[in-house]
A and B are shown apart, each in its own frame.
Chain A
C-alpha cells in the first residue's frame, strides 16, 4: 500500500509510514541507523513517521515505532529487528498503551485531546517523579465535558478550551490551583495570563493557543487573501469549505461585518445569518476533520480552519498557505485544569509545573506545531517558526481577535440561526 492515503482526524499517512516501517524492519543496518537517528534528531521528521494513528491499533504501532527507537539502547542484546517491534507492541498492549513502568503506586490520570502531546514527555515525567501516567484522549470539548459531568471517572488533569473552562468554572467542576506549587507558571507569557475565561488564572494553566483563519491553495487563489470577504467571492464558487461548527462559521460572518463574534445584538446575528445563507451556494461543504484531507488533496481553494490544522496541512502540501484576516478572528486557548474529583492533586500540580518547563514545552510545541503560551519556549523555537505571521499574528491583528465567551441565554438564538442556514435548500 505505497500510494498515499490520508485520513483526516487520524493523521494517517500510509505511504510514508509503510515505507519507513519497511526500512526499519528490512533495511540494511546503515539505513536503519540513519532512520533511527533521524527520528531522534528531527522533530518534523518524527511527526511524519509517527502520524500513523488511525485507531488504537495505529496508535500502538506508532508508539511501538517510538519505543523501538527509544529501546534500541536497552535491547541491544536482541539481534532480531522484528523482536524489537513485536516485543514493544506486546508490551504496549499489555500495559494498555501507557508508557513507562510503574515504580511506585503513584498514578496520574491525564485526559487530553487526541494527538495533542509529545508522548515521550510522559515517560520523562515518570522517570523524574516516579509517577505513572495514565493517558486518555477525547475528540472534542463536549465529549470531555459529558464524561466529567457524568462523574463515572476520575481525572487529575484535563485540557479543555477557553469557553469550556468558563462553563466548568461556572458549574463548579474545577479545583482552584495553588500557584505556589507551580513555580514554572512564571514562564507563561503575560498576555496569556488571567484571561477573561479564567480571571486571575485561578483554575487553569494555558497550554497552547491558536487562531481561526483561512487555509488557501496558492495554486488556485491568485487574489491576495487578507479579508473574510474572499469567502464570499463568486469566483471561487464550489471551492470553499466552511467549518461545520456554528460558533466558528457564524463568528466569521460577524467579523466580516465588523461585529464582535460574541455579539448579543440579535440584529447583528440576523445580518450574519443572511450573509451565510447568501454564501451557501458558493460553499462546497460544511465539514469537520475531513477538511484536512480535502485541502491536502487539492479538493478546494479555501477552507476555514484552525491554525494547528493549517500547519499540519501545509506540512503535507506545500501549495497551501494560512492567514488570519485583517478584520480579526477567533483566538483560542486550551488550558490544563484539575477537575473536581481528582485523586492525586499533588501529582497533578507537579505535572502542571512540568508542562510549563521551557524544555518540555518546546518538545510539545515542536511535536504538535501549535503556538506556545510559554515566553521562554518562544525564545527557543526555530526562527522560521517564530517569524511565521500565520502562527504568530502581528499585535495589530492579535488585538482584533477575540476569545469565544459562553453565550448563556443567547445560545439558542445562535443555534436556531445555524439550523436555519443548514436547513436552507
Chain B
C-alpha cells in the first residue's frame, strides 16, 4: 500500500509538468496543425489540403533541400572539428580539461545574435581577415554572403552542442577496456576504430541531433551571413508568418519541418540502438 501511495504521490507531482506540457506544447502544435489544414476564404476558415500541395511545389522543395544540405554539411563539419577536440579534452588532466571546457562555454554566455553579427565585421571586404591579408600583401577574398559563410556561422554557433555530448560519452568510458585491448595486441588505430569510436557513438549521435536540428531550422544565420540569398526553410516560415501574414501556409511548412525533424531523430535513434548492440557483442 505504501508503495502504491508513493506512486500516486509521484504521479501527482507530475501534474504541474503535464499541465505545462499541455498548454505550451500540445495546444500550440494542435493550433499549428489546425492552421495548416485550413485556408481562409472570405474571412472564414475552410478545410483544405492546398497548403500542403503548395509546399510540395518545386521552388519550396528546393528551399527544403537546400536547408537539409547546408545543415548536413555543417553537422559533418562539426563532427570533424568537434570529435578531436572532445577526444583531447577527455584524455587531458583534470585542471586543463576544465579550462578547455570553460573556454568553449564562455562564448555561449554571449548573445547568439551578437556573436553572429560580429562575424560580419570579421568577414567583410574591409573586415579583419581581409585587412590582414591586404597588410601582408595578399589579395582580398570574398568571404561573406556565400554558402560557406552560412556553414561557418552554423558550425561556430553549434559546435559546443557536438563537443559536449561526445566528451561526456568519452570521459565516462571505462579506461581499462583500452588497456585490455592493448594487452591483447591491438595497435592504437585498432583501439580507436574498434573500441573508442563505437563506444562514443551514443555521444556522436546525440551531438548530430543537437547540431542538425538547430541548423536545419535557423533563419538568422542565413539572413546575416548569407545575405538572404540562401533562403532556408526557416526563412520561408519567418517570411510567411511575419512578412506576408500567410499563417496557413507557414503552418503547413512548419508541420512538414516538424515531420522531417521527428523522422531524422527517429533514424538517429535507430542507428543509436544498433551501435549500442554492436558495442555489446
Interface residue B170 (Cβ < 8 Å from any Cβ of A):
no
B56-91 contacts to A, CB under 8 A, are 59-60, 62-63, 66
User: CA A7 – CA B115 in complex, angstroms?
Assistant: 12
Which A residues are CB-close (under 8 A) to B117? Answer: 7
Which B residues are CB-close (under 8 A) to A238? Answer: 142
- Taken residue by residue from 114 to 147, chain B's Cβ proximity to chain A (1 for < 8 Å, 0 otherwise) reads as 0001001100111000000000000000101100
Contact A412 B228 (CB under 8 A): no
- Taken residue by residue from 225 to 247, chain B's Cβ proximity to chain A (1 for < 8 Å, 0 otherwise) reads as 01111010001100110111110
User: In this complex, what residue of B is CB-closest to A280?
Assistant: B229
User: CA A297 – CA B126 in complex, angstroms?
Assistant: 7
- Taken residue by residue from 392 to 421, chain A's Cβ proximity to chain B (1 for < 8 Å, 0 otherwise) reads as 000000000000000000011001100110
User: Of A285, A286, A416, A420, which contacts B144 at CB under 8 A?
Assistant: A285
User: In this complex, what residue of B is CB-closest to A293?
Assistant: B120
Interface residue A422 (Cβ < 8 Å from any Cβ of B):
yes
Interface residue A290 (Cβ < 8 Å from any Cβ of B):
yes
User: CA A5 – CA B122 in complex, angstroms?
Assistant: 12
User: CA A18 – CA B97 in complex, angstroms?
Assistant: 38
User: In this complex, what residue of A is CB-closest to B121?
Assistant: A5
Interface residue B276 (Cβ < 8 Å from any Cβ of A):
no
A237 to chain B, nearest CB (A): 11
Which B residues are CB-close (under 8 A) to A412? Answer: 244, 246
Contact A244 B245 (CB under 8 A): no
Interface residue B224 (Cβ < 8 Å from any Cβ of A):
yes
User: In this complex, what residue of A is CB-closest to B62?
Assistant: A423
User: In this complex, what residue of A is CB-closest to B147?
Assistant: A425
Contact A142 B224 (CB under 8 A): no
Contact B228 A285 (CB under 8 A): yes
User: CA A5 – CA B121 in complex, angstroms?
Assistant: 9
User: CA A411 – CA B120 in complex, angstroms?
Assistant: 33
User: CA A293 – CA B240 in complex, angstroms?
Assistant: 27
With contacts A142-B245, A299-B126, A411-B244 known, is A287 near B59, CB below 8 A?
Answer: no
User: Of B124, B223, B229, B246, which contacts A294 at CB under 8 A?
Assistant: B124
Which A residues are CB-close (under 8 A) to B120? Answer: 290, 293
B133 to chain A, nearest CB (A): 16
Contact B231 A422 (CB under 8 A): yes
User: CA A412 – CA B227 in complex, angstroms?
Assistant: 23
Contact A423 B231 (CB under 8 A): yes
Beyond A146-B242, A283-B227, A285-B227, 8 additional contacts (C-beta under 8 Å) are A142-B245, A238-B142, A284-B145, A285-B144, A285-B145, A294-B124, A299-B125, A412-B244
30 contacts between A and B (CB under 8 A): A7-B117, A142-B243, A143-B242, A146-B242, A244-B223, A244-B228, A283-B227, A283-B229, A284-B145, A284-B227, A285-B144, A285-B227, A285-B228, A287-B228, A294-B124, A297-B124, A298-B126, A299-B125, A299-B126, A412-B244, A415-B239, A415-B246, A416-B59, A419-B60, A419-B63, A419-B231, A420-B59, A423-B62, A423-B66, A423-B231
